[in-house]
Copies of this chain bind each other. A is one copy, B any other.
Amino acid sequence: MAHKNYPIVVIGGSAAGLTAGITARRHYPDKEILLVRKEEQVLIPCGIPYIFGTVGSPQKNLIPDAVLEKNGIDLLVAEAVDIDREAKVLQTTGGDVGYERLIIAVGSRPAMPPIPGFDLDGVYTVVKEVEYLGDLQEQLETSKDVLVIGGGFIGIEFADEINKTGDKQVTVVEMLSHCLALAYDDEFCAEMEEVLESRGVNIRTASKVEKIAGNGKVEKVVLADGEEIKADLVLVGIGAVADVDLAKKAGLRIGLTGGIAVDRTMQTSDEHIYACGDCAEKVSFFGGRPSPLKLASIATLEARIAGANLFGIRRENVGTVGVWSTAVGDHALATAGLTERMAKERGYDVIAVAIQGPNRHPGGMPGAVDTKVKLVFERHSGVILGGQVSGGPSAGEISNIISACVQNRMTAEDIAMFQTGTHPALTASPIAYHMVNAAEMAIKQMQECGG
């Protein structure tokens, strides 16, 4: 059968696929690239919760296709059906395409807990499709009691956005003892719960959903302790699972957490096929064990590795540090690397220090917000393992400073000697710069312990 051949074919048009295509274009300027995706329009994944309050509609949260054209990447809107690895042909609902190198970047699907009632009308997950989310938005317009299952960042961002409309009761039900407990130490989680509650969102932590009940349409949610919460719309945001249907069908190896197995170069078990993003297996920067994290920023990093390595290895993945942030109103939380709890659970002997104070100087400057930075160090080496920030919008970039420190395996001593720039209207004072003082306090603790 005659079909078009491309040196480079990318499957998936979101953060990973698009970035893989752009990166391939940068490194292989003369090779033809085809991007195959099933969606007519691609949503900005991290922006999805904000569709329902701040941004207004799925149409205002799209990745523009102009970037494909600008990078000379052909587009085929079709579903990838199978891969003939022998012949190096991708079979799609829009026809066959030959490839020399293939990148699988098909992402993830919402996780579905095995709880009765998920098939009722009015139960939604976070499907990254314009039409599905448009339908959810329409349903929300007439909803009164919204229940969000899962208090991770997707759950709380959705809850707050939906609550913003002001005419609904919004409740978040979280199984763990705190919202965001998988990413932050308790004191940061508690802060965010307070912010959510002060804005009118109801929070039920340490609560397990037993079933979703209703007659055709959802009417209530029943918790494990017997409590019933009225609900005419339920949103499930408990995480995502790698989409490996195509990879499995093609006989590619699958990893320990269920993603497509890749080595540090992002090559799959087939040397002509790469994978990146939510569909690819990940390992942690810390110790190299499997990591379940799925974030758009991890996806783009992996895509920059895969896209550059197609015809000659030049980049390796050192493992996922885990850097990300969330915001509710003006309150932001951001994290990079291990929390104190995670580090201890993994067996590290740690020193953790938190420094609190305004992010402006003097504290009377406009925009001043009480800001907390907590850094976690390995006790004997002094190497930073991670840090968390709460405060104003700059928290997001502060966690990126921490990420730079972690990736360079800087010690508390290095960070105490870190040369920062400071300004009254933009940052904490040079005397009270959080990260530097946290490092100094950690050094003091190490000395006191004879370390």
A362 contact from B47, B301, B395, B413, Cβ within 8 A? B47
Q: Does A267 contact B (CB under 8 A)?
A: no
Number of residues of chain A lying within 8 A (CB) of chain B? 86
- With A426-B332, A430-B15 known to touch, is A421 a contact of B364 (CB < 8 Å)? no
- With A47-B362, A396-B422, A440-B23 known to touch, is A325 a contact of B427 (CB < 8 Å)? yes
Contact B298 A419 (CB under 8 A): yes
Q: Does A217 contact B (CB under 8 A)?
A: no
Contact A440 B323 (CB under 8 A): no
A sample of 10 inter-chain contacts (CB < 8 A) reads A19-B430, A26-B443, A54-B365, A315-B413, A334-B421, A335-B421, A396-B421, A397-B397, A400-B401, A403-B419
* Chain A 398-437: CB-based contact to B (< 8 A → 1; otherwise 0): 1111011101101001001111111111110111010010
Q: Does A394 contact B (CB under 8 A)?
A: yes
Residue in A44, A55, A315, A413 with the greatest tally of chain B CB atoms within 10 Å: A44
| Minimum CB distance partner of A337 in chain B | B419
Please give the residue numbers on chain A whose beta carbons come within 8 Å of chain B beta carbons, in ascending order. 15, 18-19, 22-23, 26-27, 44, 46-47, 50, 54-56, 60-63, 67, 285, 295-301, 304-305, 315, 318, 320-321, 323-327, 332, 334-336, 361-362, 364-367, 393-401, 403-405, 407-408, 410, 413, 416-427, 429-431, 433, 436, 440-441, 443-444, 447
> Which residues on B sit within 8 Å (CB–CB) of A410?
404, 408
A423 contact from B396, B401, B422, Cβ within 8 A? B396
A47-B361, A400-B427, A401-B401 given; 9 more Cβ-contact pairs under 8 Å: A26-B443, A50-B365, A297-B430, A297-B433, A315-B417, A325-B423, A393-B425, A394-B394, A394-B397
> Which residues on B sit within 8 Å (CB–CB) of A56?
364
Copies in the complex: 2
| Minimum CB distance partner of A43 in chain B | B362
CA distance A418 to B321 in the complex (A): 10
A431 contact from B300, B393, B399, B424, Cβ within 8 A? B300
Contact B393 A44 (CB under 8 A): no
